[in-house]
Structure 1
Amino acid sequence: MRIDLRSRLALLAALLLAAPAHAAGTLTVCAEGAPEGFDIVQYELANTNDIAGLPIYDQLLRFKPGTTELMPGIAERWDISADGLVYDLHLRRGVRFHSTPWFKPSRELNADDVLFSINRMFDKSHPAHGSARNGYVYWAGMQMSALIRSVEKLDPYKVRFTLTRPNAPFLANLAIANIGSVYPAEYAGQLLKANRLDQLNTQPVGSGPFVFRSYQKDAIVRYDANLDYWAGRPPVDRLVFAVTIDPDVRAQRLLAGECLVGDLKSQSVASLKPGGVLEVLRFNPLVTSYLALNTQHKLLDDARLRRALWLAIDKKAYIQAVNAGFATPAASFLPPGIWSHDPTLKDRADPQEARELVKAAGYDGSELQLFIGTGSDRKRAAEMLQADWAKVGIKVQVRVMELGELYKRTGAGEHDIALLSWFGDNGDPDNFFSPNLSCVAAAKGGGNKAHWCDKSFDALLDAANRSTDRARRSELYRQAQRKVHEEVPVIPLTYPVELTGLNKRVGGFVPSPFANMDFRAVSLKP
């Protein structure tokens, strides 16, 4: 068939109009581990949040990029009653859920979706409550069920939360992906009828910046940009997470340009040559590396032995060997970047006093079990700790397992000691204390891996959360820090420096104080 010049030009114009407005290619991220699943409210690992939380789901509120400042999300504005008990959230109009081969939305996001998402976690009789096989660890750890009296739909775009008591961090908690993510009630209803609610974890649907396409287990997660995203379509066309567990392999893939973004370990950075295509961002997020001591186990139920474990650690040598100097020693469970951190607390280091406390505690020579995740840095950390403790007469056996298994088994209380890190989620001190050290979170399967319950400590948290006076809250949190320092349910190890490798083609990446990766505004240069 012959086409004249005018027809050719018309055809070319039509093709150009049909082409994507932002044909920016694929952003490939080297991830340090596989996601635990895609039903984000079930999980607590930071890596899972990066891969399966922020790309897929919108939260009721958001944080301004690079800060702990709250900003509108699905809720475009909110009203709070004078007594601090009633929160009315006004929902954004025009938000659409993803269209996928397994679900086609028939309506916009509205109050019904918010009620489904919250009541699924809040109401144990809700038909979708039991679909989360891992439970709702964050929801439980932040004591949300005890805090919320009711959730009501006032109109299709207005939701009311009524609390049982004032709670200063409440709004910030709604910005956490593991609590405030909004799911499509319509999709869940279809799955419920088909008895397939577990599909929320394998074929997810959200309203976030990227649409889930596929997951090759333990290898690759693929997303397409959400062309209908209410905040504007992402600058990149596709987002790919390539699971790359070995930190040295991640570094090499970044150097070769196979990945354009990825977490780097300190030892890998120390060996990198300057220049080339790779830039290394260094920043101090709200992160504490720590040891959780199972206070319910024999021997570790004695605070003297717990203090001995802390006193025996040579943190100066530890930081050089494990972090290549990219960390500072920790004394408080709260990192320095968070308000109310107590700088007067001092780190402990006295092997001789440790030996005396070991003897006073009646340590019988039993071998303690140290649980760690996979990775050369964690293995090196365990070896350093094991050697330090052997010098004061404490025997420790190291058990290595995948991170998901580590969190599951430590939640169940199988460990004596666990090497963990906590990444802050909302900029409030309560986010460190309640999920990790409160009595509610000490229940089996919860976030309190020390399984420590102290009613006077919980009373401090409760008083702090009821107050809106930051000076008063700071004083209460300083008291809480001193109690943890004295009782030692956890040993704060380090405040690590976060190291992120960026290809020089990457633009718009903003380091987060929560050490998470949000790619909705990231672009690629030619």
Structure 2
Amino acid sequence: MLGLGAEPDSLNPVLGYSVDGGSLMFDGLVRRTPDLKLQPALAESLPEVTGEEVRFTLRQGVTFHDGRPLTGADVVHTYEQVLDPANNSPVRGDYAAIEKVESPDPRTVVFHLRHPYAPILQRATLGIVPDKSDLSADPIGTGPYAFVSWTKGDKLTLRANDRYWGGRPAIESLVLAYTTDDNARATRMAAGEFTATELPPKAVARFRDQPGLTVHEVPSADYRGVMFPLEQPVTGDLAVRKALGLAVDRGAMVAAILAGAGEPAYGPIAPGTDWHNPAVTGSAAPDRAKAIATLEAAGWKAGQDGIRVKDGTAARFTLMYPAGDSLRKELALAVASDAKRIGIDVRPAGLDWDAIDQRMAEDALIMGWGSPYDPDYTNYELFHSAYAGQGYFNPGRYRDPEVDRLLERGRAAADPAARKQVYDRVQQRISDDAVWLYLVYLKHTYVVRGEWSGLTPGVEAHEHATGGLLGTVVNWKPAP
């Protein structure tokens, strides 16, 4: 049994389930290796990407869990379902460059693009579902594990796929137990309920040096930061946002909240990845004098209670975080403490996601995103004005025509060097506008019981509930 902190809304790739290829039930045309290289999965080989047509040849002998053979019609159906507006797929925008998908014969699939789209192979990790399948039906894929049952709010049970084209997994039965509260998950791990679980860095301390348990720290592109609602008078003021960026003590956050398992964050693309702009940086230590000077110059004057005021508006706002997420709670409290020292009153509020969803236009939020894959990933949705106010994509309603143009150019350009220049400019612009208050990049921390081979983690994305170290379970074997 594996303990997970997040439960998916759906188990259908069409509706956004594990589109990055981490699912145990589905395969994409391609998949990623631990070092983030692409390799064929349901496709026989990686095709050349030139211009506006991409042609895949399917692997022979692949069957779905119910015994049906994989054909090109299944691939066509999957992508058509994603692109159909009636299905309201949350990942539809990721595939907007696709004009149509055709299958001239059972083993051939042709993608026709509206324009050249550099990340098309990266997007081909989307899990394939059977032709004519219903979105509400029990999941049927081609992956190493098959669906048995799902008790929402509790657990997902899977069984090994005897016919898996990549070889049957060593672990016969798998239970993914969903426990959103970090402390409850740690308690269940300590009680011996879980074989492995994900926990915040501080929570794994109790498991270090315990016999039979191993703590794994895995590098990630996963950041935490403050999403600002930009249409509000306080958080919409650039001087307030810049002052907070100067006032927070990122170094202390890494040391105390992450127990050293991370690093300060200053932008949306992680250091050490190919697309990071090293010019977008800052200081891990606060500069409160400069923060105060920034506020003073913008007309934010200290009131009698120490809280700054401008044009009758107090420098005060609510900072939400998901209740049960101990790491985000601690970050929210740290931001509030640092903000108070420069005269800004930040009020943390722990809420459930349903309540948060209704308030993102008015209140700030400790959010997490980040991907080590192509820079088009999440950044287009987070910063393009077309997504302003669309759920958790661009909830702050950021709008900048220049950033829009750069993001559109970046996904259409074929030359990696040209794309790097574009995304360097995007990162600089986001920094100049202080769209987010970036705080920390995390190392993902896990506790594993027993001795296993096959644990092969790579740099992980924010959305690692179906991937990450626990997603490598298909390769786990008990150590001799």
Greater mean alpha carbon deviation, residues 55-64 or residues 428-437? 428-437
Distance in 2, matches of 1:119 and 1:261, equals 37
2:201 is the counterpart of 1:302: no
**Cross-structure match for 2:303:** none
Q: Secondary structure at the match of 1:76?
A: coil
Q: CA deviation at 1:346?
A: 2.5
Please say if residues 19 and 127 of structure 2, whose CA atoms lie closer than 8 Å, have aligned partners that are also in contact.
no
- Label 1:367 to 1:284 Cα distance change in 2 as closer, same or farther (>3 A): same
- Alignment partner of 1:357 out of 294, 298, 318: 294
Query: Structure 1: which amino acid aligns with 2:345?
Result: K
Q: Secondary structure at the match of 2:110?
A: strand
- Alignment partner of 1:56 out of 8, 25, 30: 25
Distance in 2, matches of 1:209 and 1:59, equals 12
Distance in 1, matches of 2:214 and 2:247, equals 37
Q: Secondary structure at the match of 1:75?
A: coil
2:34 is the counterpart of 1:69: no
Q: CA deviation at 1:88?
A: 0.7
More helix, by proportion: 1
Please say if residues 212 and 222 of structure 1, whose CA atoms lie closer than 8 Å, have aligned partners that are also in contact.
yes
- Label 1:288 to 1:377 Cα distance change in 2 as closer, same or farther (>3 A): closer
Q: CA deviation at 1:443?
A: 4.5
Mapping 1:153-232, distance limit 5 Å: 153-175=103-125, 180-188=126-134, 197=135, 199-200=136-137, 203-232=138-167
- Label 1:247 to 1:50 Cα distance change in 2 as closer, same or farther (>3 A): farther
Kindly tell me the number of residue pairs found equivalent between the two proteins: 457
- Normalising by structure 1, we get a TM-score of 0.80
- Alignment partner of 2:9 out of 28, 32, 36: 36
Please say if residues 137 and 445 of structure 1, whose CA atoms lie closer than 8 Å, have aligned partners that are also in contact.
no
Distance in 1, matches of 2:392 and 2:205, equals 36
**Cross-structure match for 2:52:** 85
Q: CA deviation at 1:366?
A: 5.8
Query: Structure 1: which amino acid aligns with 2:396?
Result: A
Instruction: Provide structure 1 residue ranges, at least 5 long, that are not aligned to the other structure.
Output: 1-27, 100-104, 189-196
Encode CA deviations 1:145-178: one digit per residue, 9 max, x unaligned.
2x12222222122111111221211111222xxx
Please say if residues 217 and 444 of structure 2, whose CA atoms lie closer than 8 Å, have aligned partners that are also in contact.
yes
Please say if residues 235 and 317 of structure 2, whose CA atoms lie closer than 8 Å, have aligned partners that are also in contact.
no
**Cross-structure match for 1:520:** 474
Query: Structure 2: which amino acid aligns with 1:428?
Result: D
Q: CA deviation at 1:53?
A: 6.0
- Alignment partner of 1:472 out of 396, 418, 425: 418
Q: CA deviation at 1:182?
A: 1.0
Query: Structure 2: which amino acid aligns with 1:351?
Result: R
Query: Structure 2: which amino acid aligns with 1:86?
Result: E
Distance in 2, matches of 1:34 and 1:156, equals 35
Q: CA deviation at 1:319?
A: 2.2
**Cross-structure match for 1:323:** 258
**Cross-structure match for 1:137:** 90
**Cross-structure match for 2:437:** 491
Mapping 1:247-326, distance limit 5 Å: 247-326=182-261
Distance in 2, matches of 1:164 and 1:210, equals 35
Distance in 1, matches of 2:7 and 2:72, equals 33
Greater mean alpha carbon deviation, residues 244-253 or residues 384-393? 244-253
Distance in 1, matches of 2:171 and 2:354, equals 30
Q: CA deviation at 1:524?
A: 2.9
Query: Structure 2: which amino acid aligns with 1:91?
Result: L
2:326 is the counterpart of 1:376: yes
Q: Secondary structure at the match of 2:282?
A: coil
Mapping 1:357-436, distance limit 5 Å: 357-359=294-296, 360=298, 363=310, 364-365=313-314, 367-374=316-323, 375-403=325-353, 406=356, 408-409=357-358, 413-424=360-371, 427-436=373-382
Encode CA deviations 1:380-425: one digit per residue, 9 max, x unaligned.
221111122222222233232345764x447xx434311111141x
Distance in 1, matches of 2:398 and 2:151, equals 39
Distance in 2, matches of 1:182 and 1:50, equals 10
Q: CA deviation at 1:464?
A: 2.7
Distance in 1, matches of 2:251 and 2:429, equals 25
Q: Secondary structure at the match of 1:285?
A: strand
Identity of matched residues, %: 26
- Label 1:405 to 1:339 Cα distance change in 2 as closer, same or farther (>3 A): farther
Query: Structure 2: which amino acid aligns with 1:210?
Result: Y
Distance in 1, matches of 2:168 and 2:355, equals 36
**Cross-structure match for 2:75:** 114
Q: CA deviation at 1:78?
A: 4.6
- Label 1:319 to 1:450 Cα distance change in 2 as closer, same or farther (>3 A): same
Encode CA deviations 1:67-104: one digit per residue, 9 max, x unaligned.
2100112222254464x2110111223222223xxxxx
Q: Secondary structure at the match of 1:380?
A: helix
Query: Structure 1: which amino acid aligns with 2:475?
Result: A
Please say if residues 358 and 393 of structure 1, whose CA atoms lie closer than 8 Å, have aligned partners that are also in contact.
no
Q: CA deviation at 1:255?
A: 4.4
Encode CA deviations 1:19-72: one digit per residue, 9 max, x unaligned.
xxxxxxxxx1111233323224434xxxx74999602211121012x1210011
Distance in 2, matches of 1:287 and 1:247, equals 18
Q: CA deviation at 1:314?
A: 1.5
Distance in 1, matches of 2:425 and 2:198, equals 35
2:59 is the counterpart of 1:98: no
Query: Structure 1: which amino acid aligns with 2:320?
Result: F
Q: Secondary structure at the match of 1:171?
A: helix
Q: Secondary structure at the match of 1:118?
A: helix
Q: CA deviation at 1:497?
A: 1.4
Please say if residues 138 and 435 of structure 1, whose CA atoms lie closer than 8 Å, have aligned partners that are also in contact.
no
- Label 1:117 to 1:465 Cα distance change in 2 as closer, same or farther (>3 A): same
Encode CA deviations 1:170-212: one digit per residue, 9 max, x unaligned.
111222xxxx121112332xxxxxxxx4x24xx2222211111
Aligned CA RMSD, in angstroms, stands at: 2.6
Distance in 2, matches of 1:322 and 1:409, equals 28
Encode CA deviations 1:287-319: one digit per residue, 9 max, x unaligned.
222221122333333322221222221212222
Of structures 1 and 2, the larger Rg is shown by 1
Query: Structure 1: which amino acid aligns with 2:103?
Result: K
Q: Secondary structure at the match of 1:185?
A: coil
Distance in 2, matches of 1:415 and 1:60, equals 41
Q: Secondary structure at the match of 1:497?
A: strand
Distance in 2, matches of 1:204 and 1:422, equals 27
- Label 1:320 to 1:456 Cα distance change in 2 as closer, same or farther (>3 A): same
Q: CA deviation at 1:236?
A: 0.7
Distance in 2, matches of 1:367 and 1:56, equals 47
